[in-house]
Amino acid sequence: RVPADNNGSERDIRMIKLRQKVSGCLRTLTGARQFCAIRSYLSTATKHGIGLFPALVHLAEGRPWMPATS
């Protein structure tokens, strides 16, 4: 009942809601967790200026991008 906003937290969950709407559901809890983990990884990489494709390539090669610790 709260009007939509364009803040970061809403943008991050928008894709999973769209996926539920298009496919009807996420088939398993494991699949939903994997989808959320990948979306979270890509969202964090984007916020740090890393492109989506390079982040996925590094991930597939077994050397995932990690944000610097402070």
| pTM recorded for the entire structure | 0.65
Which run of H or E residues covers position 28?
A: none
Angle of helix 29-47 versus helix 52-60 axis, rounded to 10: 120
Domain-by-domain residue ranges, the chain? 6-61
Flag residues of the chain having pLDDT under 50. none
% of the chain surpassing 90 pLDDT = 20
Class of residue 13 by CB neighbours under 10 A (exposed 0-12, middle 13-18, buried 19+): exposed
